């Protein structure tokens, strides 16, 4: 028997979450963001669940090729655009749309030989200072691109730095709106947080020319995998998102502790009374964060309890006394849910575990280790 750890992908949940993004931006088309191997879920594993998307957005050619190999003929967008001249050949061959965020990319396009002109997304740096042309240089870039025979349609794009927080998107929206006011082309602005927290429809946008966060193309990533973009302010349940992945394993041993006994490396946890401990086949080499402290929530037989002691490479230890106190007898072979959905339907949000580790759901899902077998749930 293989080691019992497993990740299960839930296509129905992905489908549901995508529909939630659509509901938040009913007039927009939706890019399903599948960079980083679909945020660790596996592009091949999420494809069915997300095929109702209007397009797939990602970063590298290998992943674009895999989406095409799955039979997807619709739009694919490269979010960082091309890295060198010959990438443009691949864009032509695979029919990829690509972001243009710097002059070097326009230089490359100008020397590219292609029969079919390219659809590009011209990116503005509206304040995040990562990728894109500054507001002062944006229109010159647009004019230069527009004059190239290699370029077909130009869409207008920016990315928000604070859509999940108190600063919000207003300043960046105002900059973007002002600079692009009379430029033609579709717009793409919103990530998950902006889509859910600032759900302006295109109808509102036509009344308020400065407000079109949801217009044309939204770009939800983490939300479609069922993680809240602004936890703990809102949980996944608050946003009506369902876990796209369950990480589960089993108890492979139990220990009875006396008061004063400790558990695991560094003896970080010391029992203050007799208690029962379960040893779970999951550790940091599976992608479970080593920094998760005693108290990190975990489900045993669908009952909430806590991690105790230090996470080691292949194992963690959990408090089974709390499970028996809830009237559930758990022991060797019992189901453990690290995050996601237990067999009895109880949920443990990946965001809760991430929060315990001082990070975000994004990082945990992306860090799922290659040694963990992944299965796609039957729908």
Q: Which residues are catalytic?
A: 35, 265
Give the integer Cα–Cα distance in Å for 325 and 59: 48
| Shortest Å, Cβ 365 to ligand PLP | 10
Instruction: Choose between 56 and 284: whose C-beta lies nearer to ligand PLP.
Output: 56
Instruction: Choose, by CB under 6 A, the member of 49, 199, 221, 287 that binds ligand PLP.
Output: 221
* Structure tokens, 152: 């077909």
Binding positions for ligand PLP, 136-175, rule CB under 6 A: 159
The count of chain residues that interact with ligand PLP, using the rule CB under 6 A, is: 13
Please, what is the minimum distance in Å from the beta carbon of residue 35 to ligand PLP?
6
Residues 6+ apart with CB under 8 A from 273: 259
Lookup result for tokens 């927290």:
197
Considering the complex, state which of residue 112 and residue 159 has its C-beta at the smaller distance from ligand PLP.
159
Could you identify the residue written with the tokens 């300043």? 171
* Nearest distance, CB of residue 80 and ligand PLP, angstroms: 8
Stretch that binds ligand PLP, among 64-72, 215-223, 334-342, 346-354 (CB under 6 A): 215-223
**Is the Cβ of residue 285 or residue 366 nearer to ligand PLP in the bound state?**
366
Residue 76: CB minimum distance to ligand PLP, A = 14
Q: Please list the alpha-helical segments (H only) found in the chain.
A: 11-24, 35-39, 43-50, 61-69, 85-94, 103-111, 135-146, 170-180, 192-197, 202-207, 321-325, 350-356, 361-366
Residue of minimal CB distance from ligand PLP?
Answer: 221
Beta strands in 128-274 (DSSP E): 151-158, 187-188, 217-218, 245-257, 262-263, 269-270
Q: Is 310 in the site for ligand PLP (CB under 6 A)?
A: no
Give min distance, CB of 3 to ligand PLP, in A: 30
Measured CA distances, 302 to 81, 83, 290, 324, 344 (Å) = 44, 47, 23, 12, 6
Contact (Cβ atoms closer than 8 angstroms) between residue 197 and residue 25 = no
Interface positions, 185-204, toward ligand PLP (CB under 6 A):
191-193
Q: Which of 28, 222, 241, 320 binds ligand PLP (CB under 6 A)?
A: 222
Contact residue for ligand PLP among 98, 219, 310, 341 (CB under 6 A): 219
Q: Is the peptide bond before 129 cis (omega within 30 degrees of 0)?
A: no
Nearer to ligand PLP among residue 223 and residue 338 (C-beta):
223
> Could you tell me the smallest distance in angstroms from the CB atom of residue 177 to ligand PLP?
18
Looking only at the bridges linking them, the beta strands covering 6-9 and 245-257 are antiparallel
Site string for ligand PLP, 89-128 (x = CB under 6 A): ----------------------------------------
Contact status, residue 338 vs residue 327, Cβ threshold 8 Å: no
Angle formed at CA 317 by CA 312 and CA 320, multiple of 5 degrees: 175
Which chain residues interact with ligand PLP by CB under 6 A?
Answer: 33, 35, 79, 159, 191-193, 219-223, 229
């Amino acid at each position: 028997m293989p080691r019992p750890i497993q990740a299960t992908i839930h296509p129905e949940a992905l489908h549901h979450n995508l529909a939630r993004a659509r509901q938040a931006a009913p007039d927009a088309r939706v890019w399903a963001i599948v960079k980083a191997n679909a945020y660790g879920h596996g592009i091949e594993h999420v494809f069915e669940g997300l095929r109702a998307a209007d397009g797939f957005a990602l970063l590298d050619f290998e992943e674009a090729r895999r989406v095409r190999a799955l039979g997807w003929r619709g739009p694919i967008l490269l979010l960082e655009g091309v890295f060198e001249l010959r990438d443009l050949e691949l864009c032509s061959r695979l029919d990829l749309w690509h972001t243009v965020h710097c002059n070097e990319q326009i230089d490359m396009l100008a020397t590219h030989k292609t029969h079919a002109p390219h659809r590009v997304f011209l990116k503005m740096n509206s304040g995040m200072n990562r990728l894109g042309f500054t507001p002062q240089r944006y229109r010159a870039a647009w004019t230069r691109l527009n004059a190239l025979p290699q370029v077909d349609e130009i869409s207008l794009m920016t990315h928000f730095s604070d859509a999940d927080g108190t600063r919000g998107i207003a300043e960046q929206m105002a900059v973007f709106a002002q600079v692009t006011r009379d430029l033609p082309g579709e717009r793409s602005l919103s990530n998950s947080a902006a889509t859910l927290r600032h759900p302006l429809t295109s109808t509102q946008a036509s009344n308020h020319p400065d407000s079109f966060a949801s217009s044309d193309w939204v770009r939800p990533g983490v939300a479609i995998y069922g993680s809240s973009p602004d936890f703990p302010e809102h949980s996944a349940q608050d946003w009506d998102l369902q876990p796209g992945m369950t990480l589960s394993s089993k108890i492979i041993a139990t220990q009875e502790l006396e008061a004063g006994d400790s558990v695991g490396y560094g003896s970080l946890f010391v029992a203050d009374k007799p208690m029962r401990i379960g040893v779970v086949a999951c550790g940091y080499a599976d992608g479970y964060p080593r920094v998760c402290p005693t108290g990190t929530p975990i489900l045993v037989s669908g009952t909430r309890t806590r991690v105790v002691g230090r996470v080691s490479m292949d194992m963690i230890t959990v408090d089974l006394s709390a499970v028996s106190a809830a009237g559930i007898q758990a022991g060797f072979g019992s189901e453990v849910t690290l995050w996601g959905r237990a067999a009895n339907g109880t949920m443990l949000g990946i965001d809760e575990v991430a929060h315990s580790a001082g990070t975000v759901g994004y990082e945990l899902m992306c860090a799922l280790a290659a040694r963990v077998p992944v299965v796609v749930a039957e729908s």
